[in-house]
Amino acid sequence: MSFFDEEIDRRDTHCEKWDKYRGKEIIPAWVADMDFKAPSPVIEALKNRVEHGIFGYTSIDDETHTAVINFIKRHHNWEIKKEWIVWMSGVIPGINLTCKLLNENDEAITTTPIYPHFVTAAKNTNTKLTQIPMREIDGRWSIDFDELEENINPATKLFILCNPYNPGGTVFTKKELTKLGNLAVKYDFLICSDEIHAQLVTNPKTKHIPIASIDEKFAKRVVTLMAPSKTFNIAGLQSSFAIIPDRRLRTNFRKELRGLGGDINLLAISATKAAYKDGDEWLGELKIYLRENLKLVEDFVKNNKKLKMLSCDATYLAWIDCSNLNVKDPYELFLKYGVGISEGKRFGDNNFIRLNFATTKKNLEVILNRMQKAVDNA
Ligand SMILES: Cc1ncc(COP(=O)(O)O)c(C=O)c1O
């Protein structure tokens, strides 16, 4: 039995994912966290810190910074400096803060469908946002760079990138990222690169490349957002950071954060350090387990001619096209059969659903059986 086969009751643990359908015969497969325990070094570190018993004001030690720097070097071959790191409680605040760096009448651009908080960050900051559609290119979701360039105007000052891509699981190649970086240089805009899923590339033939690591010209205009939260399933601890190599950009970002509770909390520091130092083995096994789960989902989709999904190289979130089911709302259909999936319309396309498959195989099989019944009766 794999570590990830352990079934853990998450009800009554302040768990957003399971609380949503409290008391109902519905299995949740929506919000992006996993039904797995965090790596044991993380749990041990938290226990030790709690045992200490004093939880006063906090500072982030060098060892934690070194753990982050080494982890990023090990996994992404990118050498970052301690002073480039700006700690924050979440990646969503990082997206909002980057939007706040824009001047009045500056505009932003991103893709669609997209993680909904990209759109809300623009709304929160009164930023006009243009969204260009992701296109099916060679069996995966990608960006049509000609279309992107056509949509850039003199007011465009920010591109919000999701890499790896949510929803859809695309890992952008060096060639694609270089095209984007070159456009940013040519038209002088910033890139907010949300790389929260960077370590969840499950296809061994693909690897994540931080866009800022490709070229110093790009790095100067990029705010990279990363976190241990998705990778090690510790979202509730609220630990994340921006990596901003350019001093002026970083100073402006920090100014926006001033007085708003930057930094991360005491337990988040212990968990982050332990995860980045000692979590690699767990992470390697997790990715194998997720890949096997992905195969179950892909087989399910293949067996149902009315469903479709493209290559999902990263994340544990399957983006499934339900347009041929000819139902008004695929989310409602699956809900009726006892599965609570993410609604495609939240991401910008009502014909799709987003299925979170980071759960035990046993639970995933029940989910897929219920979904099969739903499809058969659609
Ligand atoms: C692309 C992306 N960015 C950000 C987040 C959330 O980040 P945080 O919880 O650190 O604010 C998620 C969570 O699903 C995500 O998928």
- Axis-axis angle for helices 91-100, 247-257 (nearest 10): 110
Using the atom order of ligand 1, give the atom closest to the CA of residue 166: 1
The predicted structure's pLDDT at residue 260: 87
Pairwise CA distance, residues 156 & 188, whole Å = 8
State the distance from the centre of ligand 1 to the C-alpha of 201, rounded, in angstroms.
Answer: 16
Using the atom order of ligand 1, give the atom closest to the CA of residue 229: 10
Tokens of 239: 């630990």
What does each of the 378 residues of the chain score in pLDDT, given as a tens digit?
Answer: 899 999 999 999 999 999 999 999 999 999 999 999 999 999 999 999 999 999 999 999 999 999 999 999 999 999 999 999 999 999 999 999 999 999 999 999 999 999 999 999 999 999 999 999 999 999 999 999 999 999 999 999 999 999 999 999 999 999 999 999 999 999 999 999 999 999 999 999 999 999 999 999 999 999 999 999 999 999 999 999 999 999 999 999 999 999 887 789 999 999 999 999 999 999 999 999 999 999 999 999 999 999 999 999 999 999 999 999 989 999 999 999 999 999 999 999 999 999 999 999 999 999 999 999 999 998
The predicted structure's pLDDT at residue 259: 84
DSSP code string of 300-338: HHHT-TT-B-----BSSEEEEE-GGG--S-HHHHHHHTT
DSSP character for 37?
P
DSSP character for 215?
-
State the distance from the centre of ligand 1 to the C-alpha of 152, rounded, in angstroms.
Answer: 26
State the distance from the centre of ligand 1 to the C-alpha of 196, rounded, in angstroms.
Answer: 6
The helix/strand/coil state of 92 is helix
State the distance from the centre of ligand 1 to the C-alpha of 1, rounded, in angstroms.
Answer: 30
Tokens of 27: 């299995």
Pocket probe for ligand 1: among 31, 111, 166, 346, the residue whose CB has the most ligand atoms within 8 Å is: 166
Pocket probe for ligand 1: among 97, 196, 317, the residue whose CB has the most ligand atoms within 8 Å is: 196
- Beta-carbon count within 10 A of 154 CB: 9
DSSP code string of 153-188: -TTEEEEEEESS-TTT-----HHHHHHHHHHHHHHT
Pairwise CA distance, residues 371 & 212, whole Å = 40
**Binding-site residues, ligand 1, Cβ < 6 A:** 32, 90-92, 115, 162, 166, 194, 196, 227, 229, 235, 240
The predicted structure's pLDDT at residue 326: 87
Pairwise CA distance, residues 71 & 76, whole Å = 8
- Beta-carbon count within 10 A of 101 CB: 18
> Which of 169, 210, 141 lies closest to 32 in space, CA to CA?
169
> Number of H helices and number of E strands within the chain?
14, 13
Using the atom order of ligand 1, give the atom closest to the CA of residue 227: 10
The predicted structure's pLDDT at residue 20: 94
State the distance from the centre of ligand 1 to the C-alpha of 34, rounded, in angstroms.
Answer: 13
Using the atom order of ligand 1, give the atom closest to the CA of residue 33: 14
Residue 68, burial from CB neighbour count under 10 angstroms (0-12, 13-18, 19+) = buried
State the distance from the centre of ligand 1 to the C-alpha of 33, rounded, in angstroms.
Answer: 10
> Which of 193, 287, 192, 194 lies closest to 232 in space, CA to CA?
287
What domains can you pick out in the chain, each with its CATH number?
A: 3-39+280-376 (3.90.1150.10), 45-278 (3.40.640.10)
The predicted structure's pLDDT at residue 354: 98
State the distance from the centre of ligand 1 to the C-alpha of 225, rounded, in angstroms.
Answer: 10
How many residues would you count in the chain? 378
